Amino acid sequence: MILNQVLFYFFALLAVGSAILMVTRRNIIHGAVFLISTLLATAGIFLQLQAEFLFVVQIILYVGGIMVLFVFVIMLVNLDVALRQIQFNRQKYLAAVLALVLAAQVGFALWVARAGLNLSNPSDKMPARNTEAIGDAIFQRYMLPFEIASVLLLVAMIGAVVMAKRRV
């Protein structure tokens, strides 16, 4: 129980901290690395909620696929533009005021609902074997949307290959 809470706060802190670091870095590769750690921390929270399939898929797809793509593009295109730019523009005071207003609204909402904020035990809601349950759902009940989604992905892949091939 206590371990559960400690781990949750650890992952949450990691996620929020990495997110803040990500948006404040000048070096874009550093930003990408902090995005990776945010996604990994989120995956940890998924695992805590006993959604192990989502945990693994987050790692394989988001961190191992999408972020690799981001990092490749950054490295190939050599974006060091941000290093030379001025990071804050003239509307910074207005933006700060708006951010404070938004923070106050969110804080108020959390304060009002504070009684309902506790770490619930997810075990009764989650099916014991995630992967099988998802597999059953995808291949039996939601077969058609699944096939449409895969055709969409196939079209995107073919389009990308065709466009890249023409340039070579």
Name the minimum Å distance from CB 12 to another protein.
20
Name the minimum Å distance from CB 135 to another protein.
10
Q: Which is nearer to another protein, 92 or 129 (CB)?
A: 129
Contact at 8 Å (CB) between 10 and 37?
no
**Would you tell me which residues interact with another protein (CB under 8 A)?**
1-3, 27, 29-30, 33, 36, 52-53, 55-57, 59-60, 63-64, 68, 71-72, 75-78, 129-131, 168
Q: Which is nearer to another protein, 4 or 105 (CB)?
A: 4
* Rounded-to-integer distance, Cα 159 and Cα 72, Å: 19
Name the minimum Å distance from CB 68 to another protein.
6
Name the minimum Å distance from CB 86 to another protein.
22
